[in-house]
């Protein structure tokens, strides 16, 4: 067998950062313990000690907001999975994104963002950064890099992207945008929540920082709210760490850190299964007469299918589709399902279904939704890892219920 110097991604998911006799454990635990202490005993009074010199990697801890062994292990793991030198774990994906943007933005700055962003991030940009902090924001259709180029200004300090996006699964050319920004002092951030580092690594494509709602695939079991960022940029990492620990303080707690760390161990196996099931569901939906469009990067009909093949190593487990009917049809369809749970969020082992216009993207105005192509009958699906026959059977039952009720004259009364 050849000598392997670099561990594979799968090996990193299982063991990176967890050393049975390392800084986080003295007992030899093969999994990182949950360290609940809010404060840590110091060996003596060191009048020379400066808090910024305390090094968690060397097993030095002072106070739980600054650092914590369980959180530190998670930060080390996620940094390795995204291929960056610095990781920071937060109380939510929202906190991770907010802290990262705050690290770079000042009043008078300008942000260029993908128009099809997660609605919460759009609201943060509009209602916090624009309205309260004097930062201007331009949303563009970033499926065409030319639109990003056209929106750049002298004051542009951040370009913020997601790929694939929520809920239309649109892609932007991450390497193309990185090239565009190469000679500018602009922070290029990519929210990699939908793809996960198993299928896409934005830092390798030229992004400066990657953000995650680890609530989703990295945890994978719908039982923690958490977030993370990874960067290779030392100065940016220092600023983010200052805000994470001192300026904002929205850190990931020990128990959530433990859950996300545990989730990462099965990431590769889960993502493979999510993708296989999502592909089968996308193909099934594509053949249904009640469905006018299916948005899944793995379908050759997806407008960015070729780009997806280039910049991702798989297509993920989330898709959306356009029901050719009314909102009443959509309601009948989703309410008839038993394997797919009607719920917001994505990335857990269980299949979830939702109507963005009525649920996740309800905070956007009808005009904004229309501009983004989010119709009242667009349905988003996070395909879980259940048996595919059960999932397809459930969807078939949903269409049957919708068609039965639709042809019953009294059904809509």
Q: Which is nearer to ligand PLP, 135 or 226 (CB)?
A: 226
User: 136 has which bridge partners?
Assistant: 110
C-alpha separations of 21 from 61, 117, 336 in Å: 17, 42, 52
Tell which residue, 34, 73, 94, has the closest CA to residue 214: 94
Q: Which is nearer to ligand PLP, 121 or 222 (CB)?
A: 121
Please list, residue by residue across 154-168, b when 16 or more beta carbons sit within 10 angstroms of its beta carbon and e when fewer do.
eebbbbbbbbbbbbb
Instruction: Note whether 379 binds ligand PLP by CB under 6 A.
Output: no
Q: Which of 79, 142, 186, 225 binds ligand PLP (CB under 6 A)?
A: 225
Q: Which is nearer to ligand PLP, 94 or 200 (CB)?
A: 94
C-alpha separations of 346 from 69, 99, 291, 380 in Å: 28, 22, 21, 9
Q: Which of 109, 162, 239, 339 binds ligand PLP (CB under 6 A)?
A: 162
Q: Which is nearer to ligand PLP, 33 or 120 (CB)?
A: 120
CB-CB contact of 73 with 27 (8 Å) = no
Tell which residue, 351, 9, 17, has the closest CA to residue 196: 9
Minimum distance of ligand PLP from residue 297's CB (angstroms): 15
Instruction: Note whether 244 binds ligand PLP by CB under 6 A.
Output: no
C-alpha separations of 336 from 135, 184, 329, 345 in Å: 45, 52, 11, 20
Counting residues that bind ligand PLP (by CB under 6 A) gives 16
Instruction: Note whether 92 binds ligand PLP by CB under 6 A.
Output: yes
Residue 216 annotated as catalytic: yes
CB-CB contact of 209 with 189 (8 Å) = yes
Residue 394 annotated as catalytic: no
Exactly one of 109, 116, 173, 191 is catalytic; name it: 191
- Which residues in the 100-139 window bind ligand PLP by CB under 6 A? 118, 120-121
Q: Which of 68, 156, 163, 215 binds ligand PLP (CB under 6 A)?
A: 215
Minimum distance of ligand PLP from residue 25's CB (angstroms): 28
Exactly one of 29, 65, 130, 286 is catalytic; name it: 65
Minimum distance of ligand PLP from residue 201's CB (angstroms): 16
What is the Cα gyration radius of the chain?
Answer: 22
CA pair distance 247, 122, nearest whole angstrom: 22
Minimum distance of ligand PLP from residue 208's CB (angstroms): 17
CB-CB contact of 377 with 325 (8 Å) = yes
Q: Which of 93, 202, 220, 254 binds ligand PLP (CB under 6 A)?
A: 93
Instruction: Note whether 261 binds ligand PLP by CB under 6 A.
Output: no
Instruction: Note whether 166 binds ligand PLP by CB under 6 A.
Output: yes
Minimum distance of ligand PLP from residue 11's CB (angstroms): 27
- Which residues in the 168-207 window bind ligand PLP by CB under 6 A? 191, 193-194
Please report how many Cα atoms fall inside a 13 Å half-sphere around the Cα of residue 19, on the Cβ side.
12
CA pair distance 145, 70, nearest whole angstrom: 40
Instruction: Note whether 351 binds ligand PLP by CB under 6 A.
Output: no
Instruction: Note whether 76 binds ligand PLP by CB under 6 A.
Output: no
Minimum distance of ligand PLP from residue 1's CB (angstroms): 40
Tell which residue, 248, 310, 275, has the closest CA to residue 388: 275
Exactly one of 118, 217, 295, 296 is catalytic; name it: 118
Residue 191 annotated as catalytic: yes
Instruction: Note whether 94 binds ligand PLP by CB under 6 A.
Output: yes
CA pair distance 408, 331, nearest whole angstrom: 16
Tell which residue, 321, 319, 322, 267, has the closest CA to residue 298: 319
Residue 217 annotated as catalytic: no
CB-CB contact of 193 with 93 (8 Å) = yes
Residues involved in catalysis: 65, 118, 191, 216
Q: Which residues bind ligand PLP (CB under 6 A)?
A: 92-94, 118, 120-121, 162, 166, 191, 193-194, 213, 215, 225, 227, 345
């Amino acid at each position: 067998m050849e000598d392997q110097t670099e561990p594979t991604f799968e090996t990193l998911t299982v063991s990176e950062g967890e050393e049975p006799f390392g800084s986080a454990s003295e007992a030899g635990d093969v999994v990182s313990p949950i360290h609940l202490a809010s404060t840590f005993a110091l060996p003596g009074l060191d009048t020379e000690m400066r808090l910024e010199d305390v090094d968690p990697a060397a097993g030095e801890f002072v106070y739980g907001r600054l650092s914590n062994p369980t959180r530190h292990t998670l930060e080390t793991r996620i940094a390795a999975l995204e291929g960056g030198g610095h990781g920071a774990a937060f109380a939510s994906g929202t906190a991770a994104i907010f802290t990262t943007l705050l690290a770079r933005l000042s009043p008078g700055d300008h942000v260029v963002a993908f128009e099809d962003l997660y609605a919460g991030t759009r609201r943060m940009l509009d209602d916090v950064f624009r309205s309260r902090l004097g930062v201007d924001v331009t949303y563009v259709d970033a499926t065409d890099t030319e639109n990003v180029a056209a929106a750049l200004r002298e004051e542009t300090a951040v370009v913020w992207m997601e790929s694939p996006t929520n809920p239309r699964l649109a892609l932007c050319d991450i390497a193309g945008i990185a090239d565009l920004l190469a000679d500018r002092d602009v922070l290029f951030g990519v929210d990699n929540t939908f793809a996960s580092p198993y299928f896409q690594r934005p830092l390798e494509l030229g992004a400066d920082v990657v953000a995650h709602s680890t609530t989703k695939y990295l945890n994978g079991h719908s039982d923690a709210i958490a977030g993370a960022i990874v960067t290779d940029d030392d100065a940016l990492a220092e600023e983010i760490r200052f805000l994470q620990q001192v300026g904002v303080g929205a850190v990931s707690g020990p128990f959530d850190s433990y859950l996300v760390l545990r989730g990462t161990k099965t990431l590769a196996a889960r993502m493979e299964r999510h993708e296989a099931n999502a592909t089968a569901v996308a193909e099934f939906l594509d053949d249904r007469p009640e469905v006018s469009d299916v948005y899944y990067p793995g379908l050759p009909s997806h407008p960015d299918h070729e780009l997806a093949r280039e910049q991702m190593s798989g297509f993920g487990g989330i898709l959306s589709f356009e029901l050719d009917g009314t909102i009443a049809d959509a309601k009948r369809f989703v309410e008839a399902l038993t394997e797919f749970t009607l719920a917001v969020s994505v990335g857990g082992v269980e299949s979830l279904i939702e109507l963005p216009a009525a649920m996740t993207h309800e905070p956007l105005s009808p005009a904004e939704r229309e501009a983004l192509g989010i119709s009242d009958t667009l349905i988003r699906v996070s395909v879980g890892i259940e048996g595919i026959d059960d999932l397809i059977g459930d969807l078939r039952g949903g269409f049957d219920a919708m068609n039965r009720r639709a042809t019953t004259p009294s059904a809509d009364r």
